[in-house]
Copies of this chain bind each other. A is one copy, B any other.
């Protein structure tokens, strides 16, 4: 049940939401200007013996498409991995709580544990977006653990440590046998993998040289393109040149947006909605109603 801003093929042609046009608008306009310059000056610089043909640009365009395809794959793989990690977080949270609830503990204990779980997710979101976690953590953390997590410089890692301590205590109280401790600890390892994986994606961009090379070649390609097309297309140059430039610039722009999937742009991951759906799922398992409402896309149809 995938929901996209526009489902119909025709509305999609002209729709605005989710588009990268605002980002590349300036460079597209520049391309338009160059096209007009090319048409106007064509006669003059041809007479100077300076001229460009389509053939080398065709070769370059295909090579660029291949390299952009590579960059696209790399960026999309980061986006997909980040999403999969957040999906694993939900899975590990559910499995953990299922394991906790298969042990005869009273309800308050399970809710304390679930509170720490949610605090872990929300603090991870705030860490990845460099935003302030205080409000969410105060709301979610069980009183006993509040100070320890809030005062730590690495609240997500500390919340995980607290989950481990909670589990260790239950083991020492004899509520949880060694074997059960092991199964739950395994899921804490999964949470640790999610945290470490997201930190890795956030701190390690695609090697900067790739961005640099592609950015330069795509820009130069789009700038010179009108001069290569004008001898064949005359008046149609602006249309075709902008069309080709749009394809290349837009794909470069999406690649760059997806490279950092934890941002708050149109094509980034809706970390906020993911956190709330984790909260909903854990509360439902604890019969802890009412559930918080699912966030809805805003006016620009973006879910943060």
A→B interface (CB under 8 Å):
1-5, 9, 12-13, 15, 17-20, 27, 48-70, 72-74, 76, 79, 83-84, 87-88, 90-91, 94-95, 98-99, 101-104, 128-130, 152-154, 157-158, 160-161, 164-165, 167-168, 171-172, 177-183, 185-189, 192-193, 195-197, 199-200, 202-213, 215-217, 219-220, 224, 229, 232-236, 240, 243-244, 246-248, 250-251, 254, 257-260, 262, 266-267, 269, 281, 284-285, 291
Q: Please tell me if the beta carbons of B259 and A102 are within 8 angstroms of each other in the complex.
A: no
Beyond A18-B208, A63-B248, A179-B182, 19 additional pairs, beta carbon < 8 A: A2-B203, A9-B27, A12-B212, A13-B216, A51-B236, A56-B240, A57-B59, A59-B244, A62-B62, A65-B66, A66-B68, A67-B72, A84-B200, A91-B195, A94-B195, A98-B188, A101-B168, A177-B178, A187-B189
Q: Please tell me if the beta carbons of B183 and A53 are within 8 angstroms of each other in the complex.
A: no
Q: Please tell me if the beta carbons of A2 and B259 are within 8 angstroms of each other in the complex.
A: yes
Q: Provide the residues of chain B in CB contact with A209, threshold 8 Å.
A: 18-20, 250, 254, 257, 266-267
| Bound complex: CA A217 to CA B74 (Å) | 22
Q: Please tell me if the beta carbons of B180 and A1 are within 8 angstroms of each other in the complex.
A: no
A106 to chain B, nearest CB (A): 15
Interface centre among A4, A84, A258, A281 (most CB of B within 10 A): A4
Q: Please tell me if the beta carbons of A232 and B53 are within 8 angstroms of each other in the complex.
A: yes
Q: Provide the residues of chain B in CB contact with A158, threshold 8 Å.
A: 284-285
A44 to chain B, nearest CB (A): 14
| Bound complex: CA A195 to CA B219 (Å) | 42
Q: Provide the residues of chain B in CB contact with A235, threshold 8 Å.
A: 48-50
